[in-house]
């Protein structure tokens, strides 16, 4: 696994991490899909303060996933923003959705919540893929 991190530039890591976290803040904001998230995941009860464990998990999860995604783009010889966006969309729709389907079906979560989360990951990975694909094109 260390070889994956050696193969990823610090610039790509920071860009990917910041984009994913920013996209999450936008996607789950109240004007976008925040009210749907509260209704589906939190049973309509808005917490009085954010859970720091959730933010920590998001930061760590992103910090481990982005280097691997950047590595995937390198191995695939991604050389443009368009190629990166397509890889990101494919990775989000097929890989991420396939792995996380159990959360919906076996944990008895609403299907709409599954779609909401997978939409965020697919769109976010497409945007990150475009940015990292562009970065690969100029290197």
Condensed to tens digits (0 to 9), the pLDDT of residues 99-137 reads 888 878 888 889 999 999 999 999 999 999 999 998 876
* pTM, rounded to two decimals: 0.87
Please work out, in degrees rounded to the nearest 5, the angle formed at the alpha carbon of residue 83 by the alpha carbons of 9 and 118.
85
Structural domain harbouring 107:
2-46+55-138
Q: Residue 139, Cβ neighbours under 10 Å: how many?
A: 10
Q: How many domains does the chain have?
A: 1
pLDDT band at 1 (very low <50, low <70, confident <90, very high): very low
Comparing 16-25, 29-38, 98-107, the range with the smallest average pLDDT is: 98-107
Residue 112: its pLDDT value, please?
Answer: 94
């Amino acid at each position: 696994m260390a070889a994956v991190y050696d193969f990823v530039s610090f610039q790509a890591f920071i860009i990917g991490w910041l984009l994913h976290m920013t996209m999450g803040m936008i996607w789950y904001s109240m004007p976008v899909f925040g009210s749907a998230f509260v209704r589906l995941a939190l049973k309509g009860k808005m917490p009085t303060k954010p859970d720091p464990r959730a933010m920590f998990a998001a930061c760590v999860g992103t910090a481990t996933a982005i280097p691997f995604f950047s590595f995937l783009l390198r191995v695939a010889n991604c050389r443009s923003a368009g190629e990166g966006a397509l890889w990101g969309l494919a990775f989000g729709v097929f890989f991420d959705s396939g792995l996380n389907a159990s959360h919906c079906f076996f944990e008895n979560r609403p299907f709409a919540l599954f779609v909401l989360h997978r939409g965020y990951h697919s769109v976010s990975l497409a945007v990150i893929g475009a940015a990292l694909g562009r970065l690969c094109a100029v290197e």
